[in-house]
Amino acid sequence: MAKLIASVTGSTLEALRPLGEQALAAGADLIELRLDGHGSPGPSFREWVAGLPAGRWIVTCRSTAEGGASDAPAEARARLLADLAGEGRGIVDFEYAAWRASAAARECLERVRSAGLSGKPRLILSSHHFEGRPVDAAGLLREIAAVGGVVPKVAWMSQSICDSLEALELARRAPVPGIVICMGEAGLPSRVLAGKVGAYGTYCAAASGGETAPGQASLAQMREVFQWGSIRASTRVFGVIGWPVGHSMSPLLHNSAFARAGVDAVYLPLAVDPVGEVLESFLDRCLHADWLNVGGFSVTVPHKGRVPAYLGGAADKLAQQIGAVNTLIVQDGKYRGYNTDYSGALGALIEELGPDRACLRDTAVDVLGAGGAARAVVAGLRSCGARVTLSNIVHDDTVHLADEFACEVRPWAERGQGRGAVLINCTSVGMWPEVDATPMPPESLPRYAAVFDVVYNPLETRLLRDAAAAGCRTIRGVEMFVHQAAEQFRLWTGREADVGLMRQLVIGELTRHG
């Protein structure tokens, strides 16, 4: 089984001790002690290292040439690492380029290489490339493996999400279990899915903020969010495609839902650059990589409007009408596209107004906005027979949307002056950090029975606070987010999601970071 290696670094060598012990206690399979940037270890540090569990720790003193902080000669670094590892039966990570160039360094590390722990390698030979993918990454991996009795490790700075797929393919085809990592945000799949392809292991930060390479997740994220210990060859892969995407709460939501339902699946944030044809290339490669076992994707900004053209006629009718796909499913080797934003909005409304879609028939609804969120909401409302009036700052956009879905139009300056029973804000006004802004004057709110704000950060927008003060029933944007995610879960798994769990997770996360 692939090993989860927590990199431990600190301002002093002594600071590594508590961090390393905490990482082992928190579930790291191994800890990597980064010695570069520090002086020679003293007796107390050496004694501590010697007492660590055999085979559970790695020592490295990375050179500045490969992203570390040590400018010591290769032989001196090799001697230090060999001495420490020999005392406590540890593992050494050393740069392959330095190993190849220095006979003295090879001689120092030979006893580490030749004395495996129960037949398992004690030497990792690594090669780091911060300028991008090495010309022949596969050849380099084979060359390192040919040394014999070592773990080959190749890492490079990802140029796009497709680098992660290549890294995983290299790890899958490696002659011996090795480590192949793409650095950077787009490289996260290469780290999380290492166990799926039979890699020796992958690296994470011992704690958030302690990253030793770009794009490292924390130990807690790997274990608690991405369910590291459950990932195997059969695990289905899902994720959210966006740019940027690191802030998304969807991985927490869906991975927790998969775990609760006993579904063998993992859900990842997928940083897909909108430049060029990265999106199309990524989707194509995922579809044809049978070993990856992709089940589907969420799609968020800025890609929702681009996916329908990629799918052609493989998007459902309402998604085509909305002009945006936020959910992809793999069926019979092909993608199918859907839009669950509209069903998320309907789910939130029906839960409050209930008991079913009939509650919206002939209901007068005022919608603010004419962007992507408004398109999805309006499509859902009109499919239920609601009477919709649109208002938006850019009048031409409003007219165009109204013509598509047979809605009425009211000028922005006259918003809230009709007879709507429900008000829905589909603009970004009031979204964090502009939390004191509101799209509707408070004096216009008492005429509404219910007010729904699709903005979910903050949990309680100013519009909702004003609406509650005016005696209106209020619906938070988090409800739409949760219901659309629940519909995605149903489409992917054929099961009903635990909406209560999803709501609890999102509210907890927003409250924690609010």
Catalytic amino acids?
304
What's the longest Cα–Cα distance across the chain? 85
For the sheet containing 294-299, what is the strand order? 265-271, 236-242, 294-299, 327-331, 334-338
Tell me how far CA of residue 290 lies from CA of 113, 277, 411, 450, 514, in angstroms.
36, 22, 52, 48, 41
Rounded to 5, what percent of the chain is helix, strand, coil? 45, 20, 35
**Cβ atoms 158, 183 nearer than 8 A:** yes
Residue 60 contacts by C-beta under 8 Å, 6 or more apart in sequence?
Answer: 32, 33, 34, 35, 36, 68, 81, 92, 93, 94
Q: Count the alpha carbons within 13 Å of 180 in the hemisphere toward its beta carbon.
A: 34
Could you write out the DSSP letters of every residue in 136-165? THHHHHHHHHTTSSSEEEEEEE-SSHHHHH
Residue among 173, 196, 165 nearest 286 (CA)? 165
Residue among 85, 111, 106 nearest 95 (CA)? 106
Q: Is 138 exposed, middle or buried (0-12, 13-18, 19+ CB in 10 A)?
A: middle
Cis check: omega of the bond before 458, within 30 degrees of 0? yes
Helix, coil or strand: residue 280:
helix
Q: Within a 10 A sphere around the Cβ of 366, how many other Cβ atoms?
A: 27
Residue 430 contacts by C-beta under 8 Å, 6 or more apart in sequence?
Answer: 437, 438, 439, 453, 455, 461, 462, 463
Cα separation of 378 and 163, whole Å? Answer: 39
* C-alpha triplet 484, 489, 495: angle, nearest 5°: 125
